Amino acid sequence: MLAELEEIKTDALAAIGKIDNEPDLEQARVNFLGKKGRLTAASAGMRDVPKEQKKDVGQKLNEVRTAITEVIEEKRAALIAVRDAAAFASVDPTLPSRALPKGGLHPLTHVLNEAVSVLRRMGFALAEGPEIETEWNCFDALNTPEDHPARNESDTFYFENGKLLRTHTSSVQIQTMLKEVPPVRIIAPGSAFRRDEIDATHLSAFHQLEGLYVDKSVSLADLKGTLEYFFREIFGSKTEVRFRPHFFPFTEPSFEVDLKLHATGKAAKWIEIAGCGIVDPAVFEAVDGKRGDAAYDPGEISGFAFGMGLDRLAMIMYGIPDLRLLIENDVRFLKQFA
C-alpha cells in the first residue's frame, strides 16, 4: 500500500504541474482528494493493513494528502496571479483619477460667516427668533402703529391666524429683551420676507443681520464707531461709509447707512446697506409693559440698534450686479465662490 500511495502522489504532482486553468485544477482536486477520489479510495485499504504497519501507512497517507493539498494551493495562487495580471494589463493605474465634483459655500454663507465673526469679536452674542411672528413682536412693540404702511396687506405675508412672515429681523430685538435683562449685546442673522417686486436689488425673501446693544449710557458715537469699524473690517480700511438721517419708528434719531458699491463693469454708486439708530424709549416701554417689570427703564438705560441686508453685503463684497443671481443657483455662478 505504501507503493500505491507513492504512486498516487507522483501522478498527482505530475498532473497538477501541467494544469494551466482553474476549472482543470478543481477537477484534479476532486480526482485525487474528493470523496470518490483516488486517495480516498486508497485510504479505505487501511482496514486490511496489518496492525504493526498501520502507523507507517497512516503517516504516509497524511504525508501524501498534505503534499497534494499544498501543490494544489500553490497552483491556485499562481493561476489567480496570472488572471489578475491579465485583468490589469489594459489598465494604467498611474493615470490620475477622474476629478470628483467639489462642493462649496454659497456666497451668502461666506458673507454671513465673516460678518458674524467680526461682530462676535466685538462682543456681540448670537440670538434668534422665529420667522413666523406675531404682529406685536414685529410691529407693535417696535412702535410701529396700526396704520403704518409696512403693516399693509400688500407689503406683508399674513397667515389666517393673524401671524405673519417677519418683515425684518428687528422682531428678534423684542424676543431677546423679553427674555434677558440689560446689558444686552446681540446680533441676529436670518431671513425676512416682504411682498416686494423682485428686481436687481429686491427679493421677496431676503436676509438681514440685526444688532442690538442696550446698556447704561449707550450713545450715537458708539453706534457710528461700531458700524464704521465693522464695515472697514469687512471691506477694507478705505471703505466709504455714509450715514443719512432717516425715519424708523423704533429708533430716534434714525439713519440709513450707505456703502460705495464697485460692481464689475459698472460705475461706482452708493447702495443702501443698513438702517440704524438710538432705540426709541417707546420700545423699552412696550417691552417692560409685557415683562411686567422695569428692567428696561428708559430713564436708566439706552441702546442702539441696526439691521443690515446680508444679500446686499454680498453684492458689495463680490461685485455682484443683480441679487437674483443669489437665488437662481446657477452652478456657473456659484462655482466662482467655491
- Tell me how far, at minimum, the Cβ of 202 lies from ligand DAH, in Å: 12
166 scored as a contact of ligand DAH (CB under 6 A): no
Q: Which residue is nearest to ligand DAH (CB)?
A: 275
Nearest Cα residue to 283 out of 295, 275, 271: 295
As a three-state string, the secondary structure of 156-201 is CCECCCCCEECCCCCHHHHHHHHHCCCCEEEEEEEEEECCCCCECC
**Alpha carbons 217 and 301: distance in angstroms, whole number:** 6
Question: Which segment (33-41, 106-114, 128-136, 302-310) binds ligand DAH by CB under 6 A?
Answer: 302-310
303 scored as a contact of ligand DAH (CB under 6 A): no
129 scored as a contact of ligand DAH (CB under 6 A): no
Among 193, 248, 284, 296, binds ligand DAH (CB under 6 A): 248
Give the 3-state secondary structure of residue 19: coil
| Nearer to ligand DAH among residue 28 and residue 305 (C-beta) | 305
- Tell me how far, at minimum, the Cβ of 316 lies from ligand DAH, in Å: 17
**Alpha carbons 255 and 248: distance in angstroms, whole number:** 8
Question: Which segment (20-28, 86-94, 248-256, 294-302) binds ligand DAH by CB under 6 A?
Answer: 248-256
| Nearer to ligand DAH among residue 32 and residue 255 (C-beta) | 255
Nearest Cα residue to 337 out of 11, 131, 106, 60: 106
257-296: contacts with ligand DAH (CB under 6 A): 275-277
- For residue 174, the tally of other CB atoms under 10 A from its CB is 25
168 scored as a contact of ligand DAH (CB under 6 A): yes
| Nearer to ligand DAH among residue 230 and residue 248 (C-beta) | 248
What the block records as the C-alpha cell of 159 is: 397667515
Residue type (1 letter), 226: T
Task: Look at strands 184-193 and 205-215 and give their pairing.
Answer: antiparallel
**Alpha carbons 273 and 313: distance in angstroms, whole number:** 7
Rg (Cα) of the chain, in Å, rounded? 41
> How many binding residues for ligand DAH (CB under 6 A)?
12
CB 113 within 8 A of CB 210: no
- Tell me how far, at minimum, the Cβ of 262 lies from ligand DAH, in Å: 24
Binding mask 73-112 for ligand DAH (x = CB under 6 A): ----------------------------------------
Determine the angle formed by the axes of helices 310-318 and 107-121, rounding to 10 degrees: 100
Among 43, 144, 251, 302, binds ligand DAH (CB under 6 A): 251
Buried b (16+ CB within 10 A) or exposed e, 259-291: bebebeeeeeeebbbbbbbbbbbbbbbbbbeee
Among 37, 190, 303, 307, binds ligand DAH (CB under 6 A): 307
- Tell me how far, at minimum, the Cβ of 239 lies from ligand DAH, in Å: 20
**Alpha carbons 218 and 53: distance in angstroms, whole number:** 110
Site for ligand DAH, rule CB under 6 A: 168, 170, 210, 248, 251, 254, 275-277, 305-307
